[in-house]
Chains A and B, each alone.
Chain A
Amino acid sequence: MTDNKYRADFPIFEKHPCVYLDSAATAQRPRVVIEAEKEFYETMNANPLRGLYDLSVKATEAYERSREETASFIGAESPDEIIFTRNTTESLNLVAYSYAMNFIKPGDEIVTTVMEHHSNMLPWQAAAEKTGAKLLYLEPDEEGNFSDDEIVTKINDRTALVAVGHVSNVMGCVNPVKKIAERAHRYGAVVVVDGAQSTPHMQVDIKQLGADFFAFSGHKLMGPMGVGVLYGRRDLLEKMPPFLTGGEMIESVTLKKTVYAAIPHKFEAGTVNAAGAFALAAAIRYLKAVGFDEIRQTEDRLVELIFEGFAKSSHIHILGSKDPKMHNGIVSFTMDDVHPHDISSILDADGINIRAGHHCAQPLMEYLKVGSTARASVYLYNDEEDIQKFVEKTLKVRRWLGLES
């Protein structure tokens, strides 16, 4: 019997029993989220923002209410500053294409970090190439910390934009976004924060962080796949041209001239994922009802159990901080003489699901001098039994490959 009272809220564990330790890739969904998506299609489905009839008005209201809830979830001043996208990647690309490529000049500098997920790195490489700006990378120590010196040296009066991940998807560490943002703002640079790995685990306040743009995905915080969020400061969004053009983002169109809609709709061309946004709001409500303190306690306890278990082997090496409380549910590790894909396959034979590979962070893997790693990530529905099974089997992996355990 599980000691986790939330587990029963997740139908997957009933229909496909497994030890799910890949929540950093995508979380499982509670019944209320799955039901919300169904409820939208069963009771309020029409193309929102268009029709003048009652059903479309209902769909529009549901969609815009979800925007309000999302705004308040991260502390945005106004729902107008919330743009629904497909995911974090699209949100960050929107900023790169609509903001960076239009407002950054040759000789400006864009600063990001070697720790970033590819989705918060490739858009800046593209923006730097397009604008003639120089791209600089902040380099962390092996526990994932950025020195003050690194921040002060690389962020200066040439800096036009700083893009930083809030929580690393490999090391689980929280980056000093506030400190970086204060430094960046002193020189008038714009701060873009990738919140994909932080929003599921902690209360985010974008004002307190100093984010001018903040991107996250619905699916990592138990919402549906295919809905993501971009927060943007009103004055920035207003001066940016649209990312995509087409339906539902205009004020008026003639054959010669188009007047775009006001924000946020200027950035939401085409039929939107209203059911997704509606279900995302349900996920946010579920998350708030459980509470971040509770989530944190569960994650810290489980990560600590993994640390204790792995301490029994001299062949397992955990990446990042030695303090389990600094991991936000993420434990990436390597095993001597064993490729992470073999670890993953051997665990999979017992229904234990972990991630193996470079986690879309190849430059970080290279920087840390590891080829690829295995990653277990926990969330609020995991219990001690999950961790016990995972640790026990992981400690046997070397023996499966004919090595001393």
Chain B
Amino acid sequence: MSLESVYGQVLNEHNLHPFHKGETEGATLMLEGKNPSCGDDIILQLKVSEDGTIEDGSFAGSGCAISQASVDIMLDLIIGETKERALELVGEFMNMIHGKATEEEIEDLDEAGALKDISHMPARVKCAVLGWHTLEEMLK
């Protein structure tokens, strides 16, 4: 696996210039996710409408480039979607990170597909899934 395939443009862009870092006004859900072994720590906020649409979202906290970029990309994907669709994306992302996703699933994940080679970096899997796992916990 080449380093470029992980630390590429998409990851670096989302890490250095996250679109969704900060607070969500009128947030209806909030949950903290932690990786005790790395010290990665994020607080995910979502504003979910009564009909179950994720209208807005944000994250705060600190962590490695992989955890930060991954949660930012995730928010890009799920804002505007229903809770059900967001959970579907979580399932696809988990499959991808564990090296079990189909071509279609990876395509469906759009920019998050840029993280697929993390499946070859077992030590970093927990960084990549931190935001997604926190989202799943929130919505379930």
A residues with CB within 8 A of B: 338-342, 345-346, 348-349, 356-358, 365, 371-372, 400-403
A348, B1: Cα distance in complex, Å: 11
A259, B2: Cα distance in complex, Å: 63
Q: Decide if B16 touches A339 in the complex (CB within 8 Å).
A: no
Size of the B side of the interface (Cβ < 8 Å), in residues, is 23
Q: Decide if A371 touches B7 in the complex (CB within 8 Å).
A: no
- For residue B15, CB closer than 8 A to chain A, the reply is yes
Residues from 31 to 86 in B contacting A, C-beta threshold 8 Å: 37-40, 62-66
- Residue from the list B7, B66, B124, B127 in contact with A400, Cβ < 8 A: B7
A372, B34: Cα distance in complex, Å: 14
Q: Decide if B64 touches A341 in the complex (CB within 8 Å).
A: yes
Q: Decide if A349 touches B65 in the complex (CB within 8 Å).
A: no
| Contacts A341-B64, A345-B124, A401-B15 given; does A357 touch B38 at CB 8 Å | yes
A339, B61: Cα distance in complex, Å: 13
Q: Decide if B7 touches A346 in the complex (CB within 8 Å).
A: yes
A357, B64: Cα distance in complex, Å: 11
Q: Decide if B16 touches A401 in the complex (CB within 8 Å).
A: yes
Contacts of A357 in B (CB 8 A): 37-39
A235, B9: Cα distance in complex, Å: 65
- Residue from the list B2, B13, B37, B121 in contact with A345, Cβ < 8 A: B121
B residues with CB within 8 A of A: 1-3, 6-7, 9, 12-13, 15-16, 37-40, 62-66, 121, 123-124, 127
5 contacts between A and B (CB under 8 A): A339-B63, A346-B3, A365-B39, A372-B38, A400-B3
Q: Decide if A371 touches B62 in the complex (CB within 8 Å).
A: yes
Q: Decide if A372 touches B12 in the complex (CB within 8 Å).
A: no
Q: Decide if B13 touches A402 in the complex (CB within 8 Å).
A: yes
Q: Tell me the minimal C-beta distance from A57 to chain B in angstroms.
A: 46
Q: Decide if A342 touches B38 in the complex (CB within 8 Å).
A: no
Q: Decide if A358 touches B16 in the complex (CB within 8 Å).
A: no
Q: Decide if B3 touches A349 in the complex (CB within 8 Å).
A: yes
- Residue from the list B1, B3, B12, B124 in contact with A341, Cβ < 8 A: B124
| Residue from B1, B65, B66, B127 with most neighbouring chain A CB atoms (10 Å) | B65
User: CB-nearest residue of chain A relative to B39?
Assistant: A372
Contacts of B39 in A (CB 8 A): 357-358, 365, 371-372
User: CB-nearest residue of chain A relative to B9?
Assistant: A402
Contacts of A356 in B (CB 8 A): 38
User: CB-nearest residue of chain B relative to A397?
Assistant: B7
| Residue from B12, B39, B123 with most neighbouring chain A CB atoms (10 Å) | B39
Contacts of A401 in B (CB 8 A): 7, 12, 15-16, 65
Q: Decide if A342 touches B64 in the complex (CB within 8 Å).
A: yes
